[in-house]
Amino acid sequence: MAFSRRKTLIAGSAAAAIAAATAVALPALASASTASAPVAGSAAHAYRHGVYPRAGAQPHLSAGAVAGDQDGGGGLNGQTGQGKPANETKPLTYHGGTGGVGVTTGAPKVYVIYWGSQWGSAAKDAHGYTTLSHDTAGMAPRQQAFFKGLGTKGETWSGVMTQYCQGVRSGATSCPAGSAHIGYPTGGALAGVWYDGSTAAPASASGNQLAQEAVKAAQHFGNGTAAANRNVQYVITSPTGTTPDGFNTPGGDFCAWHDFTGDPSLDGGGAVTSPVGPVAFTNMPYLPDAGRSCGAGAVNSGAAGALDGVTIVGSHEYAETVTDQFPYSANPSSPVLTSGGWITDNDSTGGEDGDKCAWVHSGPGAGFDLSLATGSFPVQTTWSNDANHGAGGCQASHPIVRNTAPHKVTIGHIANQVGVVGRSVRLAVSAHDSASTSHLTYGASGLPAGLRIDARTGTITGRPTHLGTYRVTVLAKDETGASARTTFTWVVRDH
């Protein structure tokens, strides 16, 4: 289905048809729902889901906002959580997946990238977080602490997302037993931090440039295949004073958005050819530059609330990526979008689980401080289809839904091998996952020198360079951690 992306609160996931190199097929478009009129200006960019207006740019929120509280501060954008338009109460529905991917089915991994030499010099603080000399507001360590803390202290904010899954019919509003649910970030979601100070970040990076940086980050972290990037998101964080995609300018009424590298509607060049498979990423500007209009003081008052927006916006983009990992633009010149994951069609708030609950001021869906092992962090609630006895609503907590049928990986028998020094080798490893939507990653230890295994296909190729008898172990693993291994002998002779 298609839906019209209108100006709402925080830019969500603009996603994409995948570039040819990613080899992911896009589903055919179903008949579109009646779309609301496109919004002129910056919000009409198809890759910006759920655009969050800056102060004074919210006239479209009149149906759900409180008169006189339209300044983006002192009340989470004026929304009370009461009197929402009818389509804001509709459930999220599953949209069939993009190339077999609808949601993040393994434990989510977040890599945070500080892009551009404008960040200054790097150091480590007492907690081991990367600090940057030109990060005067302290956004960087705050980001890292939040993502590191997700999935600790038994927090159940992440549990809200785990009710959603993939592999169900398009239009489904719930997940039957045995579905591949979104993974829980046990022990933390932060997988890595990189300060890319090799060059200055663009003064106003295009969507295409942000996608290129995401591919560069994937390569930096050694995530060189589609399987390695299957449950990963890259948060491209720009330095103070820059305006990525027009952030904090009259033409960029948003705080952040997320997308992935194959989106043909990305400005500045469209989809990015990715040699590492499709890559989910977030355009995360330097939010303190926007002050109250991007969440400063939204939950906590005074100095304690100066960085509230960092994790409110961050939690929004994180939640939307895991529930709608590869949405995409049906038409690069139109704000009418379709999605692979969970959205509400034709929703005035933006449709994704974060959009429907963004900046709620009071009531059960209001933003709140989430207690984690790394500190206390303001977050927003996210949409839960099964809240209120199935009527749906914005929830702060939900029991963690575990995949009831653990994945099982098997590897076909591999006979002992005999090779000759300098002679070409090609051995295909056959493996199977009980979940048809999963992606396997392959590895091997003990291979004769000169041979290698393709992590994506499992094929062993090369020319052995040394004589000997080698004990080789091949491993196949999916995104949930399910794995299998087998061991065999490989003899290399001289003739």
Structure tokens given for 174: 């719930």
Asked whether residue 307 carries a pLDDT value surpassing 80, the answer given is yes
Cα-based distances in Å from 57 to 5, 293, 431, 492? 16, 10, 53, 70
- Mean pLDDT, residues 277-289 taken together: 96
Least confident of 22-26, 137-141, 191-195: 22-26
Cα–Cα distance list, 375 to 118, 135, 144, 148, 475 (Å):
28, 20, 11, 10, 37
Residue 191: strand pairing partners: none
CATH number assigned to the domain with residue range 409-493, chosen from the 4 options 2.30.40.10, 2.60.40.10, 2.40.110.10, 3.40.50.150: 2.60.40.10
Under a CB-based contact definition with an 8 Å cutoff, are residues 149 and 142 in contact? Answer: no
450-478 burial, b at 16+ Cβ within 10 Å, e below that, comes to bbebebbebebebebeeeeebebebbbbb
CA–CA dist 141, 131 (Å, integer): 6
Return the pLDDT at 47.
63
- Give a three-class secondary structure readout of 224-255: CCCCCCCCEEEEEECCCCCCHHHCCCCCCCCC
Which comes out higher in pLDDT, residue 344 or 38? Answer: 344
Phi, psi of 58 (to 5 degrees): -120, 35
At residue 494 the predicted structure's pLDDT band, cuts being 50, 70 and 90, is very high
For 224, other C-beta atoms within 10 Å of its C-beta total 15
In 182-239, which ranges are E strands? 190-196, 232-237
List strand residue ranges (DSSP E) for 136-179, in order. 165-166
Checking if the pLDDT of 448 tops 50, the result is yes
pLDDT over 90 (residue 479): no
pLDDT at 491: 97
Q: What are phi and psi of 378, to 5 degrees?
A: -65, 135
- The average pLDDT across 288-295 equals 94
Q: Please check whether residue 18 is in contact with residue 26, taking contact to mean a CB–CB distance below 8 angstroms.
A: yes
Give the pair of three-digit tokens for residue 66: 């409180």
| Residue 329, SS3 per DSSP | strand
Place of tokens 């038994």: 154
CA–CA gap between residue 347 and residue 181 (Å, rounded): 24
Phi and psi at residue 207, to the nearest 5°: -60, -40
Q: What is the pLDDT of residue 4?
A: 27
Q: Percent of the chain, pLDDT > 90? A: 62
Q: 31-54, pLDDT tens digit by residue?
A: 222 222 223 333 446 666 545 544
CA distance 443 to 461: 13
Integer Cα distance of 368 and 374 in angstroms? 16
Chain centroid, CA 245 distance in Å: 18
The per-residue pLDDT for range 72-97, each reduced to its tens digit, is: 222 333 233 333 444 578 899 998 88
Q: Give the rounded distance of the alpha carbon of 67 from its chain centre.
A: 34
Residue 207 pLDDT > 90, yes or no? yes
Give the chain's largest Cα–Cα span. Answer: 86
**7 pLDDT higher than 60:** no
Q: How confident is the model at residue 329 (pLDDT cuts 50, 70, 90)?
A: low
Q: Which of 56-70, 227-241, 243-257 has the lowest mean pLDDT?
A: 56-70
User: How many whole angstroms separate alpha carbon 463 and alpha carbon 158?
Assistant: 48
The model's pLDDT over 385-429, given as tens digits with 9 standing for 90+, comes to 999 999 999 999 999 998 766 678 999 999 999 999 999 999 999
Q: How far apart are CA 110 and CA 88, in angstroms?
A: 29
pLDDT at residue 132 tops 60: yes
CA distance 254 to 11: 6
| Domain residue spans of the chain | 2-395, 409-493
Q: How far apart are CA 139 and CA 308, in angstroms?
A: 10
**Between residues 444 and 336, which one has the greater pLDDT?**
444
Taking the C-alpha atoms of 186, 382, 283 and 109 in order, what is their torsion angle to the nearest 10 degrees?
A: 10
Find the Cα–Cα–Cα–Cα dihedral 477, 160, 290, 49, rounded to 10°. Answer: 70
Mean pLDDT of all residues belonging to the chain: 82
Contacts of residue 341, Cβ cutoff 8 Å, sequence gap at least 6: 94, 95, 97, 102, 103, 164, 166, 323, 324, 325, 326, 327
15 pLDDT band, cuts 50/70/90, is very low
Element containing residue 383 per DSSP (H, E): strand 382-384
